Structure 1
Amino acid sequence: MAIIECSKMDKAINSLLSRQNYLVTQANDLARSFGNLTAFEHKVLDYCFSFVKAEDTSKQIYVVQMLDIIRHLGLNKSGKNYQRVAEAFQALNTKTALYLRTYKNGKNGIIMTSLFDYIEIIEDGKIEFQFSQKVAPYVFELKQNFYSFKLSELSNVRSKYALTLLKLWNANSMGKLNKATIKGTLEEWESWFLGSDNEGKPKRWSAGRFKQRVLSVSIDELGKLYPKNLFELTVEKSGRKVVGYRLDIIQPKLHCQIRHT
């Protein structure tokens, strides 16, 4: 009976994981966990990440000024833009659900949490936030070892998809932007860029639509921002069916171009 019950629990856990794309097992998973965010929300989140320091602990409380965020994003000091930043933080509070796999006493489990423990917006324009203590170690490791690009670089990226790809590039290059390989199934790539619907179900596009509207767009934009780098996309197939992609990003000594295969 115990074996049967255990099997049922395994199926229940696997069902949760199949419906959500937020499983975090290592720091760079955070770079591909927020497909639901818009480009603007991504940039506000990156601004939050920029405050993390090597000596911070999971209890660290961060304080930012809304006006500084508005200036960083190149916006004017209108009431509309204050509202826009406030709504971005509201989205960060609701769209950053995370699943953490656990293993205790020989048993697998899942912690359902979110990126932030709390976000407080005060009427004088001050914003105070704290990362979830369960997630904080991943945030610190990501910032220290992978988040090597500057905020100025992020501000130059226009599309959400290019911004996501830049983070994947950085997270898979071990802090060095001269070489990286990003590989995954079609479903994994779609989860990184598209996120899920309102019911938590992964969004699914046809392989052709995804390649044309997401991969090609993001690769072309980053290719213009980083013209010395070679972006080589390989489509992986099983027969005629597209099952995944591999993207190699390298910085060769000679002049390079973007390649699609």
Structure 2
Amino acid sequence: MSSITEKAKNQKQVLTLNELSKRKVVEHNSLITSIAKMDKTPLKMFELAVSCINTEEPPKDNTVYLSKADLFAFFKVSDNDKHSRFKEAVEKMQKQAFFKIKEKKEHGFEFENIVPIPYVKWTDYNDEVLIRFSPEIIPYLVNLKKNFTQHALSEISELNSKYSIILYRWLSMNYNQYEHYSAKGGRRAEQVESYRNPSISIRELRELTDTVNEYQRFTNFTKKILDIPLKEINDNTTFKVSYEKVKKGRSIDSIVFHITKKRMADDNSYKLEDKTYQEDKARKAETEDQLVLQAMDSPYTKLLMEHFLLSYLDLMDKKILAGLQKNVYPLYDELKELRGLNGVKDHLSYVSSKQEAYSKRNVAKYLKKAIEQYLPTVKRQDLNHE
């Protein structure tokens, strides 16, 4: 029987360190949203093994090969105890690690518990490691035409907690859909934006992170599952993520994430391999230009000029005009509907008389705050009158 090394060379599946940095992990979304019943090391090892798969040409016998050197490099392990730690990680992955997958079918939900990698083989006299996937996990990894997510292996390697990896995979799934539908169409604008600002209930987040019975104090849950992992994601990946808590009654019901991609850093730490950033930048510029044109045609711009709340220099600033059109003028429309155009003029007269509080650098922000404070008063007055 030929050795592991010979098989690996024949199938050309042993990675080089350079290849590791270029590898992508492609998984079905059902796997992304499944419960990973394992800690960070088996999960990272699984991601590394998946990155070796050619999704269009499934590996023979569901088998891929890694080199120990690359595996240790991926885990950033260099101490003398690395071989025993590797052995311990493999055994833990095979004995404890599995995915709980829940898929919606025609008549309800289907549940699967899958041990992803039941067989690993290596020797103490050469560098290669054989990894064999279970046949049940393969459909979630190959020949994926829709409902799949792709993310960079190099970013997974930088994450050092289970919750960071789980959140990163889930955020990638949503942002991938945002990029896809932004470019290809097929979704309403608000649906596309919802992929960039995905929401998840606390119950679903606990299930996803396998913390249904852990961190019962919400402050601990927030710290362990959100704050620490998101800081790690923000520090080590191309994503910049923030979140807000959504209340239902007196308790926190869900979390809304806000995902953006970082611009290319001065040291080129983050190079976006696709054109997403440039496309997003072009879309934003086009939207800003449209808002500027609308603002120039708006009667509110003329009124602001008449009340000395807007100068000719302000008219040369695209950001000011776009900010007014997007954030302020819709509120003026509300006031106009309640009190007519004269009501808007009266409001601007009052604001103009209080210009000592007004900063030229934040004209749109100042005017937005002024109308936001005034509108509820008008609505209350009308309600009382009725």
Instruction: Give the shorter-chain TM-score range.
Output: 0.5 to 0.7
CA drift of 1:34 comes to 4.8
For 1:169 and 1:241, the matched residues in 2 are separated by 24
* Equivalent residue number for residue 67 of structure 2: 65
Q: Structure 1 residue 231 and structure 2 residue 241: aligned?
A: yes
Counterpart in 2 of 1:210? 221
Q: Distance in 1 between matches of 2:86 and 2:237?
A: 29
What letter corresponds to residue 155 of structure 2 in structure 1?
Answer: E
Q: Contact 2:42–2:97 (CA<8 Å) still a contact in 1?
A: no
Deviations 1:50-108 (A, max 9, x none): 10112233743112232321133222262x2111122222222221143465869x797
Deviation track 1:144-191 (CA, whole Å, cap 9, x = no partner) reads 942231x32222223333222221111222275996344322122123
SS in 2 for 1:115: coil
Give the Cα separation in 1 of the matches to 2:234 and 2:102.
34
Partner of 1:146: 149
- TM-score, length of structure 1 as denominator length: 0.68
Kept after mapping to 1: 8 A contact 2:37/2:99: no
Question: Quick one: distance in 1 between partners of 2:113 and 2:155?
Answer: 32
SS at match of 1:54: coil
Give yes or no for contact 1:120–1:129 (8 Å, CA) kept in 2.
yes
Candidates 160, 167, 180, aligned match of 2:196: 180
> How far off its partner does 1:247 sit?
1.2
TM-superposed deviation, 1:123: 4.0
Hey, what's the Cα distance between the residues in 2 that align with 1:214 and 1:130?
31
- Report the CA distance shift for 1:89/1:31 in structure 2 as closer, same or farther (over 3 A): farther
| Alignment-derived partner of residue 30 in structure 1 | 31
Tell me the amino acid that sits aligned with residue 90 of structure 1: E
CA contact (8 A) 1:118 1:129 kept: yes
1:77-116 equivalences under 5 Å are 78=80, 80-93=81-94, 94-99=96-101, 101=103, 110-116=111-117
The 1:182–1:36 alpha-carbon spacing in structure 2 relative to 1, beyond 3 Å, is farther
Report the 3-state secondary structure (helix = DSSP H, G, I; strand = E; otherwise coil) of the residue aligned with 2:257.
strand
**In structure 2, what residue type is equivalent to 1:95?**
A
The change in CA–CA distance for 1:192 and 1:102 in structure 2 (over 3 A counts) is: closer
Other structure's SS at 1:231 match: strand
Q: Name the CA distance, whole Å, in 1 between partners of 2:231 and 2:160.
A: 12
Task: Number of aligned residue pairs: give it.
Answer: 220
Q: Which runs of 4+ in 1 moved over 6 A?
A: none
Distance 1:146 1:103, change over 3 A: closer
Equivalent in the alignment of 1:248: 258
Q: Give 1:212 deviation, angstroms.
A: 2.0
1:164/1:97 Cα in 2 relative to 1: closer, same or farther (>3 Å)? Answer: closer
1:243 is displaced (CA, Å) by: 2.2
The offset of 1:236, in angstroms, is 2.3
**Which residues of structure 2 form unaligned runs of 5+?**
1-26, 183-194, 262-279, 285-386
What CA distance in whole angstroms lies between the structure 1 residues aligned with 2:241 and 2:104?
36
The answer (yes or no) to whether the contact 1:186–1:207 under 8 Å persists in 2 is no
TM-score by structure 2 length? 0.48
SS at match of 2:246: strand
The RMSD of aligned alpha carbons is: 3.5
Q: How far apart in 2 are the matches of 1:242 and 1:234?
A: 10
Q: State how far apart, in whole Å, the 1-side matches of 2:110 and 2:35 are.
A: 22
After superposition, give the CA deviation of every residue in 1:81-139 in whole Å (9 maximum; x if it has no partner): 111122222222221143465869x7975444322243334444543222222221112
Q: Does the C-alpha gap of structure 1 residues 27 and 205 become closer, same or farther in structure 2, counting only changes over 3 Å?
A: farther
Query: Could you tell me how far apart the structure 2 residues matched to 1:48 and 1:107 are?
Result: 32
1:5-59 Cα offsets, whole Å, 9 max, x none, are xxxxxxxxxxxxxxxxxxxxx9223224354433333322221111011223374
Distance 2:91 2:43 in 1: 13
Relative to structure 1, the CA distance from residue 222 to residue 77 in structure 2 (aligned partners, 3 Å threshold; closer, same or farther) is closer
Name the counterpart of 1:5: none
Return 5+ residue gaps in structure 1 as ranges.
Answer: 1-25, 255-261
